[in-house]
Each structure stands twice: as structure tokens, then as C-alpha cells.
Amino acid sequence: MKMNKKQPPKNEKKQLDIKRVRVGKLNTVAEVAKLQSRLIKKGVKGGESIINDVYKLTMCLSMLAKTLEVSDLENRVEALEKKAINK
């Protein structure tokens, strides 16, 4: 039995362009926000065909930003607790 390779339909060319976004490091909320803004700009330029992909990616990035905020706060609280114990 032959396996057919999946090939994207010809009308989905614009959807493939969104996969070529440079991500870089995402260690801070500011870096995540930069990527979100780039994705949104690409989505607006790309038209209706990639808006859903951009929306999904920005929602994932929003969750990542919230996780980074919480981990930063946890680190700060831990540092303050250590400082209070040492006094």
C-alpha cells in the first residue's frame, strides 16, 4: 500500500508564509509582546486567510506571557522571603 504525501492545496499559499516568522528568544514579556505585534502585522497584511492562525498563535503567546509574569513574581517573592529570614 502506497502512502500519499500530504501536499497543501494551492490556495493555501498565504497560510504557509506565517510559518516563516522569526521567533528568537522568548524569555521576557517584552520579547513575547514584540512577537505578538509582528504576528498581528503579518496577519493584517496577509488577509483573511491567515487571521485564524495568527489569532491562535497570539493566544498561545498570551498564555506564555502570563506564565513569565507569574514565574518572575515567584522569584521575587522567594528572594524577599530569603532576605527576611536572614535578618
65-75 tens-digit pLDDT: 999 999 999 99
Q: Is residue 75 part of a domain?
A: yes
In this prediction, residue 16 carries a pLDDT of 45
Which comes out higher in pLDDT, residue 86 or 78?
Answer: 78
Total tally of structural domains belonging to the chain: 1
What pLDDT does 75 receive?
A: 95
The 10s digit of each residue's pLDDT in 7-64 is 655 555 555 455 566 788 899 999 999 999 999 988 888 777 788 889 999 999 999 9
Q: In what helix (H) or strand (E) does residue 19 lie, and over which residues does it extend?
A: none
Would you say residue 6 lies in a domain? no
Residue ranges making up the domain that contains 54: 24-86
Closest to 69 (Cα-Cα) out of 37, 35, 43, 31: 31
d(CA 63, CA 49): 24
51 closest CA partner among 9, 17, 6: 17
The whole-angstrom separation of Cα 62 and Cα 32 is: 8
Look at residue 49 and tell me if it is in a domain: yes
Identify the pLDDT of residue 1: 53
Per-residue confidence (pLDDT) for residue 84, from 0 to 100:
93
